[in-house]
């Protein structure tokens, strides 16, 4: 009997621990990024963006205090959902900014449908179907998707560089497929040809056998690899005597790769790529953003990455909409959500105006860049062209774009 009483007392004690404390009338903002595993640096940079945005508003909107709750995933969709659940159910977040990577985005979007009275704003995840097909009414994306991130690249490669026949090498999953789709929308329409597409399994480290397969007569090789894989590929390509110029995706020569340590970097100067940020952007708002970033995070990257940027503009959008509704989250957040859907980030955006389409997907500028080296030896991306107001259907009619079907290894074809 004594034991039973003990158990009951114990349970009560535990329950006291488990029940969440009463919350003041403030707004709780959850931030979900990848702080574990190989993407840890990217996730860290994303959270820097969230903090910078909140700091801009002094953590207050319309007299209400904004409390930031951070949570970490590991780039796996199931963990992203579990952590989002924790933010909503345990930490009582009203709004969640995140996640970071594609698979996570789709999973969180699906979860969002089950809690319509909460609002979800994407971090940097770039899968098309997060907003393109079967979107969640309470999921917003103020960043571009994988295909949009290649806008401008295909036409620049065709028109300015004169590439007519290229080979593609990319990792075998949806993000590179989508990026190729974005590239092809311009390049193939103009009449460019793709001689060969090589899809290598995720996790491949030695690309030399694939490099040996590349045709000799191509004008350029379009590389869709990121992080360590990009470093390995670039090294092996030049060591194998590769001479055709390279075109990069939005992650092939971004700051995380350009900040890596190794001799491969001497070779990438002049390499073409495209993405939502460019280090050399002269827009005063970008310069202001970079300076604020460097001041607050002296141990951060040389220049804010697309992750810091994505989380920054997403948080800004949330704050702007909150300000508009005076921090009113009542009525199951319906007023706030309607305001958010109409929110345009213009005066605050470091990378040109951002607005949403009917699926709550961003329409924004994208940058075509070339890698250059500063006198102090560091590497950066230099703008060669800006694609203005890129929409999710890449300028096509929505129905026609949807009829192309999801991007895959061979879809859409290049003709």
Site for another protein in 169-198 (CB under 8 A): 171-174, 198
Rule CB under 8 A: is residue 19 a binding residue for another protein? yes
Provide the minimum distance between the beta carbon of 207 and another protein in the complex, in angstroms, as a whole number.
8
Q: Of 54, 34, 57, give the one whose Cα is nearest residue 46.
A: 34
Provide the minimum distance between the beta carbon of 40 and another protein in the complex, in angstroms, as a whole number.
5
| Binding span for another protein by CB under 8 A among 50-58, 129-137, 276-284, 330-338 | 129-137
Q: Which is nearer to another protein, 158 or 293 (CB)?
A: 293
Among 26, 40, 159, 244, binds another protein (CB under 8 A): 40
> Which three-class secondary structure state does DSSP give residue 156?
helix
Rule CB under 8 A: is residue 18 a binding residue for another protein? yes
Q: Of 250, 246, 254, give the one whose Cα is nearest residue 272.
A: 246
Q: Where in 237-266 is the site for another protein (CB under 8 A)?
A: 239-241, 256-257, 259-264
Per-residue tokens: 291 = 């300076």
Per-residue tokens: 192 = 């460019």
d(CA 27, CA 7): 37
What Cα–Cα distance (Å) separates residue 273 from each residue in 18, 173, 240, 263? 50, 19, 22, 20
Q: Of 168, 144, 142, 141, give the one whose Cα is nearest residue 154.
A: 168
By CB under 8 A, the count of residues binding another protein is: 80
Per-residue tokens: 380 = 């950066």
Rule CB under 8 A: is residue 332 a binding residue for another protein? no
Q: Which is nearer to another protein, 26 or 172 (CB)?
A: 172
**Chain Cα centroid distance, residue 37:** 17
Per-residue tokens: 340 = 């958010």
Rule CB under 8 A: is residue 95 a binding residue for another protein? no
Q: Which is nearer to another protein, 134 or 288 (CB)?
A: 134
Q: Which is nearer to another protein, 225 or 317 (CB)?
A: 225
Rule CB under 8 A: is residue 67 a binding residue for another protein? no
Other beta carbons within 10 angstroms of residue 333's beta carbon come to 20
The answer to whether the CB of 152 falls within 8 A of the CB of 394 is: no
Rule CB under 8 A: is residue 134 a binding residue for another protein? yes
Q: Which element (helix H / strand E) includes 387?
A: strand 379-390
d(CA 393, CA 73): 30
Among 119, 236, 315, 320, binds another protein (CB under 8 A): 236
Among 67, 125, 232, 348, binds another protein (CB under 8 A): 232
Strand partners, 354: 345
| Binding span for another protein by CB under 8 A among 167-175, 179-187, 288-296, 349-357 | 167-175
Q: Where in 364-383 is the site for another protein (CB under 8 A)?
A: none
| Binding span for another protein by CB under 8 A among 73-81, 245-253, 317-325, 384-392 | 73-81
Rule CB under 8 A: is residue 41 a binding residue for another protein? yes
Among 227, 245, 300, 412, binds another protein (CB under 8 A): 227
Q: Where in 196-225 is the site for another protein (CB under 8 A)?
A: 198-206, 208-210, 212-213
Q: Of 342, 346, 379, 378, give the one whose Cα is nearest residue 365.
A: 346
Q: Which is nearer to another protein, 263 or 298 (CB)?
A: 263
Q: Which is nearer to another protein, 18 or 282 (CB)?
A: 18
Provide the minimum distance between the beta carbon of 409 and another protein in the complex, in angstroms, as a whole number.
7
d(CA 286, CA 100): 22
**For the CA atoms of the chain, what is the radius of gyration?**
22
Provide the minimum distance between the beta carbon of 352 and another protein in the complex, in angstroms, as a whole number.
29
Backbone angles phi, psi at 65, to 5 degrees: -80, 140
| DSSP code for 354 | B
Rule CB under 8 A: is residue 297 a binding residue for another protein? no
| Binding span for another protein by CB under 8 A among 77-85, 268-276, 308-316, 381-389 | 77-85
d(CA 22, CA 247): 54
Provide the minimum distance between the beta carbon of 133 and another protein in the complex, in angstroms, as a whole number.
8
| Sign of the torsion angle spanned by Cα atoms 332, 333, 339, 343 | negative
């Amino acid at each position: 009997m004594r034991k039973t009483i003990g158990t009951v007392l114990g349970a009560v004690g535990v329950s006291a621990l488990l029940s969440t404390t009463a919350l003041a009338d403030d707004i709780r903002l959850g931030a979900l990024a990848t702080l574990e595993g190989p993407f840890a640096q990217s996730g860290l940079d994303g959270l820097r963006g969230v903090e910078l945005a909140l700091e801009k508003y002094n953590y207050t909107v319309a007299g209400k205090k904004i409390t930031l709750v951070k949570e970490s995933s590991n780039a796996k969709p199931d963990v992203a959902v579990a952590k989002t659940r924790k933010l909503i159910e345990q930490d009582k977040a009203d709004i969640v900014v995140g996640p970071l990577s594609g698979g996570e985005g789709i999973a969180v979007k699906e979860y969002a449908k089950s809690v319509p009275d909460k609002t979800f704003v994407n971090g940097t995840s770039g899968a098309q179907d997060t907003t393109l097909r079967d979107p969640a009414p309470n999921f917003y994306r103020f960043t571009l998707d994988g295909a949009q991130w290649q806008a401008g690249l295909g036409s620049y490669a065709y028109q300015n560089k004169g590439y007519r026949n290229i080979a593609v090498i990319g990792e075998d999953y949806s993000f590179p497929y989508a990026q190729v789709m974005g590239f092809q929308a311009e390049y193939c329409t103009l009449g460019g040809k793709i001689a060969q597409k090589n899809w290598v399994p995720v996790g491949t480290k030695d690309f030399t056998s694939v490099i040996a397969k590349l045709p000799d007569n191509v004008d350029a090789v379009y590389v869709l690899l990121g992080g360590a894989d990009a470093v390995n590929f670039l090294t092996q390509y030049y060591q194998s005597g590769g001479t055709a110029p390279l075109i990069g995706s939005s992650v092939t020569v971004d700051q995380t790769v350009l900040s890596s340590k190794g001799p491969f970097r001497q070779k990438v100067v002049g390499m073409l790529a495209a993405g939502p940020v460019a280090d050399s952007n002269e827009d005063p708002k970008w310069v202001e953003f970079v300076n604020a970033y460097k001041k607050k995070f002296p141990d951060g990257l040389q220049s804010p990455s697309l992750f810091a940027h994505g989380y920054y503009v997403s948080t800004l959008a949330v704050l702007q909409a909150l300000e508009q509704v005076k921090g009113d989250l009542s009525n199951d957040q319906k007023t706030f959500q309607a305001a958010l859907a109409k929110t345009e980030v213009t005066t605050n955006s470091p990378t040109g105006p951002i607005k949403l389409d009917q699926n709550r997907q961003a329409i924004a500028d994208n940058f075509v860049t070339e890698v250059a080296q500063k006198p102090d030896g560091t590497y950066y991306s230099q703008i060669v062209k800006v694609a203005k107001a890129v929409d999710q259907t890449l300028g096509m009619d929505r129905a026609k774009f949807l009829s192309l079907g999801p991007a895959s290894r061979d879809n859409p074809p290049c003709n």
